Amino acid sequence: MDYSARVITVSDRSFRGERADEGGPAVAELLRGAGYAVDKIVLVPDEQAQIEQALREAAKDGAALCVTTGGTGFAPRDVTPEATLAVCGKLCPGIPEAMRYASMRITKRAMLSRAQAGILERTLIVNLPGSPKGARENLEAVLPALDHGLEMLRGGPADCAKPD
């Protein structure tokens, strides 16, 4: 596997420099450990238009995987799922379902996640929680299956009938 990845941290406070971005670097480290080439970590505020722009840029730059962290909760400014839905042509509901299922084994609050996953052109977008711990736990739940999805998305010789 030789896939590129982009990490987008969505946080007003981190964007303004009031708090260090811990989620983005934690996710990037996990991706690199799994063999992804993380090109950069982008920091944007909780503004839907800016999140959409960052997602479109990741696809335009050819990222196979774009992972967001933050903005998936109930707070009024949490709009990452809406931005993801606005730019994706296809949804991948099994990914956030699997993340919530795995996370529910750790905390009942996992059911409050509004995370989405979808496809923009040839880029898979996955929303993660903003906390570094939650982001890692959610990504670890789905990471082993993403390479197969990316192989299919990128036109590789993946065999869907082949056992895991």
Question: Which domains does the chain possess?
Answer: 4-153 (3.40.980.10)
* Residue 147: pLDDT band with limits 50, 70, 90: very high
* Residue 163: pLDDT band with limits 50, 70, 90: low
* Nearest one of 130, 132, 164 to 147, comparing CA atoms: 164
* Alpha-carbon torsion (147, 125, 123, 39), positive or negative: negative
In this prediction, residue 11 carries a pLDDT of 98
In this prediction, residue 56 carries a pLDDT of 98
Q: Which helix (H) or strand (E) holds 41?
A: strand 37-44
* Residue 2: pLDDT band with limits 50, 70, 90: confident
Q: What is the pLDDT of residues 21-79, one digit of tens each?
A: 999 999 999 999 999 999 999 999 999 999 999 999 999 999 999 999 999 999 999 99
Q: What is the pLDDT of residues 85-143, one digit of tens each?
A: 999 999 999 999 999 999 999 999 999 999 999 999 999 999 999 999 999 999 999 99
* Alpha-carbon torsion (78, 12, 61, 56), positive or negative: positive
| Phi, psi dihedrals of residue 122, rounded to the nearest 5° | -115, 25
